[in-house]
A and B are shown apart, each in its own frame.
Chain A
Amino acid sequence: MDDLVKPKNECCAGDKSCGVPDKQSPLQPFPMAPSTEAACCGSPPGPQSSPDEKPGYELLGFVESFIDTSIGPVPRVKTSLARSDVWGTIGARLAVNRNQYKIAPGLYCVGEPGPDSPVLITANYKLTFDTLRRELTSVGTWILVLDTRGINVWCAAGKQFFSTGEVVHRVKQSRLNTVVRHNKIILPQLAATGVSAVSVKKECGFEVLWGPIQARDIQQFVADGCKAEQSMRRVTFSMPERVVLVPVELSHLLKPTLWVLLAVFLLSGIGTGFFSFSAAWSRGLMALTAYAAAILGGAVAAPILLPWIPGRAFALKGMLTGIIAGLSVVITFSNSLTRVEAAALLLFTTSISSYLAMNFTGSTPFTSPSGVEKEMRRAIPLQAAVALMAVAAWVGAAFTG
């Protein structure tokens, strides 16, 4: 203990030096401690921090490097997706992480862009950004990312986040006019719902060129002198495009399903003995199967088979898939159901399936809100009435036997 030097109060005053004096440290080097960075125990330490890392900011995996520009360092991003990006996409599609799946707005680039390189404007939803950058494999390009609150291009345009104001703000904030010599910015066509090209030109001097709908057409579009073929200007709704929407539709049903579960078991147990737990269980399971069938019919089959199901109104399509789903349930349990109970389950499945299919209208690129309103004003009262009839029949059947 005597070897330890007592701290001096006037340590930091004048030219007196602080800290451990030149004397040998009382701690002798541990004989087995190595002098290299190799591990003495456990796994080796990670690499040194990159000079691009900054306090308070995390360096993201999709950034390849930084390039120097007149406005400072601009991140150059990779044009291929890593496994973490693929997992992120899966998470977004399964509604596991989709509301905060975004990147910082501002100027990015791919390749070796210069003052004459094209400028693409996009949303800060990471799925959008990934979809875009993986297509930009040949030409150096600037990417100006807007703050669309982590929402994709079209929805953000509709909700006024991908707006004239936001475009103008980001263009000015990034001092784009000092980065490029030209005054053209390429916007995704679907942003036109929220952006007025004429107003953008007036407010920041940049001319909006409407790019193709799909990112995969951008390189061809630019190569053709920023001209789009007609097919690039039409939105599609193919089977894969419909299928990827189903998990999110299902995720909306998690909370309502808990209530349905409760109601189904309670209502199934009501009978001549006031309430029976065994009836709640045995009848409840059959009713629950009918509910599951309704989900399959209205939220899975109807979206996937959409163009092949008769009827323009989605409520009608859902009713048809619901009838098939309901009949399947009734046939499965035919030995355990009275005729009234079978009818109840069929009505129940049909009405719920119709309602769920009707809700899919909001996820399509071709239904008009006016049409949806018209459909809903007619369909919802019918769906509610049929569902109530189903409940009355189901409960009533327990009394009549």
Chain B
Amino acid sequence: METFRYLPGVTTLQFETAACVGCGMCENVCPHGVFQLEGKKAAIRDLDGCMECGACALNCPTAAIRVTPGVGCASYIIQTWIKGKEAAACSGIDCC
């Protein structure tokens, strides 16, 4: 989304051009237009627009895309500080 910008340089999105077969799935499923088909291959046109939803990675037929988002929740992060990473847990189905 062009009008809403978040922190730059944080996304874990990785794209391997060599594995791309130009199917266009990533361009179809991305809600922010991060990918664009250029000729026979996809290309990243807006890396910082990525919100790590994972739709592209899940739908790439050749696994050319990888993304590993964190949890991004305040109470979860606070738990890792107090209880340590192993003991921290989501607060259940109703939480988010």
**How would you classify the secondary structure of chain A's contact residues: helix, strand, loop or mixed?**
helix
Are the C-beta atoms of A370 and B70 separated by less than 8 Å? yes
Residues of A within 8 A of B10 (CB): 368, 370-371, 374
Closest Cβ–Cβ distance, residue A194 to chain B (whole Å): 7
CB 8 Å contact bits of A352-379 with B (1 = contact, 0 = none) = 0001001101101111111111111100
Q: Please measure, in the bound complex, the distance between the C-alpha atom of A377 and the C-alpha atom of B3, giving whole angstroms.
A: 26
Q: Which of A15-23, A229-237, A266-274 contacts B (4 or more CB under 8 A)?
A: A229-237
Residues of B within 8 A of A364 (CB): 4
Are the C-beta atoms of A368 and B50 separated by less than 8 Å? yes
Residues of A within 8 A of B50 (CB): 368
Contact partner of A233 (CB less than 8 A), chosen from B12, B28, B49, B78, is: B28
Q: Please measure, in the bound complex, the distance between the C-alpha atom of A197 and the C-alpha atom of B28, giving whole angstroms.
A: 12
User: Is B22 an interface position by the 8 A CB rule?
Assistant: no
Are the C-beta atoms of B51 and A237 separated by less than 8 Å? no
- Taking Cβ atoms with an 8 Å cutoff, the residues of B that contact A are 1, 3-8, 10-12, 25, 28-33, 49-56, 58-59, 61, 69-74, 77-78, 93-94, 96
- Taking Cβ atoms with an 8 Å cutoff, the residues of A that contact B are 99, 149, 154-155, 157-159, 189-190, 192-198, 210, 213, 228, 230, 233-237, 306-307, 312-313, 355, 358-359, 361-362, 364-377, 380
Selected A-B contacts with CB under 8 Å, 30 pairs:
A154-B53, A158-B54, A189-B29, A189-B31, A192-B59, A195-B58, A210-B28, A210-B29, A233-B28, A234-B31, A306-B4, A307-B3, A312-B8, A355-B74, A362-B73, A367-B72, A368-B6, A368-B11, A369-B52, A369-B69, A370-B72, A371-B6, A371-B7, A371-B11, A373-B70, A373-B72, A373-B77, A376-B74, A377-B77, A380-B77
